[in-house]
Amino acid sequence: MSDENKDLASQDTAAERRAAQPGRPAVEAKRVHKAFGDLHVLKGIDMKVMPGTVTVILGPSGSGKSTFLRLINQLETLTGGEIDVNGEMIGYKRLADGTLQTLNDKEVAAQRAKLGMVFQKFNLFPHMTALENVMEAPVHVKRMPKAQARELAAKELTRVGLGDRLDYYPSQLSGGQQQRVAIARALAMKPEIMLFDEPTSALDPELVGEVLGVMRQLADEGMTMIVVTHEIGFAKEVADQVVFMDGGVVVESGGPGIIDDPKEPRFKDFLQHVL
């Protein structure tokens, strides 16, 4: 309960901070296409995500939401178009003669370091404790000394409310706790942008709240977030931008107000089914 009060208190300052962010988008998708073999999944997605804002992507199953997030994090390769993160094209660099050169592993890893990702199935490392999960990347990717990484990991875990679960293995934690460890693990790399792919879909209903609570707190702190979710309440409350995708295209987008006042029949239809 005290947590909630804290959230409310910090909310207007975060909102102000967001409103004050002008200029360059944190993520910009330009006519993005993706095909798996003959299956044309994304058919020209345009999207701008400003720094410090929360974008919620809604859409029916199979509309390509996960695919879009995975493209931003280079877990899939683009078929057409371009994605920029902080103004820098991802996955390729443009050579002097205008042709594209695929980036090597190291360059891709460097670009990924700016992005944190949280998966529907948590994907925690089961052979490591919560603390070790969170320490892993700082120690082995950033070469941070172990003692310092341990301190950082404990701090991140405390931040998501798991300060007393440091030495638990994922299999000893509830789904909601596991997902919060996964969020802490991503945060420990100090990403500028967080991507969430249906972070609460694999959870029992009573555990959804604790994960959304952590995400809300992150949004209030001014983290740039792209969230794929079916939690309409969360979208209304936290989103600065709502994007509705269907059939591989953006059907409707705008402020959170569009949820209460949808224009497109397909969006109306979708909302009726979800609510």
Partner 1 sequence: MPHHVEPDGEGLPIPNRISAKPVRRTGSIVAAVVVAILAAMLVKGLVTNPRFEWNIVWKYLFNERVLEGVGYTLLLTVISMVVAIVLAVILAIMRKSVNPVLRGVSWFYIWFFRGTPVYTQLVFWGLFAVLIPRLSIGIPLTSVEFWSVDSQTVITAFNAAWIGLALNEAAYLAEIVRAGLEAVDPGQAEAAQALGMKRSMIMRRVILPQAMRIIIPPTGNETIGMLKTTSLVLAVPFTLELQYATNAIANRIYKPIPLLIVASIWYLLITSILMVIQSMLEKHFGKGFEARPVGTKGKQPPLPGKTEGEPKDDVDKTNEAAFLGYNA
Binding-site ranges for partner 1 (CB under 8 A): 1, 3, 73, 75, 105-106, 109-110, 112-113, 115-117, 119, 121, 123-129, 136-137, 140-141, 161, 164-165, 167-174, 176-177, 182, 185-186, 189, 206, 210, 213-214
Q: How far is CA 28 from CA 24, 25, 46, 113, 269, in A?
A: 9, 6, 7, 17, 28
Of 66 and 73, nearer to Mg ion (C-beta) is: 66
In whole angstroms, what is the distance from residue 87 CA to residue 45 CA?
17
Of 166 and 202, nearer to ligand ATP (C-beta) is: 202
Which listed residue (55, 63, 66, 133) binds Mg ion by CB under 5 A?
66
Tokens standing for residue 51 = 């720094």
Tokens standing for residue 38 = 């003959």
The footprint of ligand ATP on residues 20-79 (CB under 6 A) is 36, 39, 41, 59, 61-67
Q: Does 163 bind ligand ATP (CB under 6 A)?
A: no
Q: Does 63 bind Mg ion (CB under 5 A)?
A: no
Q: How far is CA 201 from CA 179, 227, 237, in A?
A: 11, 12, 18
Binding partner selected for residue 242 from ligand ATP, partner 1, Mg ion, none, CB under the kind-specific 5 to 8 Å limit: none
Of 5 and 61, nearer to ligand ATP (C-beta) is: 61
Residues forming beta bridges with residue 30, ordered by sequence position? 82
Binding partner selected for residue 59 from Mg ion, ligand ATP, partner 1, none, CB under the kind-specific 5 to 8 Å limit: ligand ATP
The set of residues, in sequence order, having a beta carbon less than 8 Å from that of 251 and lying 6+ positions away, is 244, 245, 264, 266, 267
Q: Does 178 bind ligand ATP (CB under 6 A)?
A: no
In whole angstroms, what is the distance from residue 205 CA to residue 76 CA?
31
The set of residues, in sequence order, having a beta carbon less than 8 Å from that of 254 and lying 6+ positions away, is 241, 242
Phi-psi region of 74 (alpha: psi -120 to 50; beta: other; left: phi over 0): left
Q: Does 99 bind ligand ATP (CB under 6 A)?
A: no
Q: Does 250 bind ligand ATP (CB under 6 A)?
A: no
Residues of this chain that bind ligand ATP (CB under 6 A): 36, 39, 41, 59, 61-67
Applying CB under 5 A, the residues found at the interface with Mg ion are 66
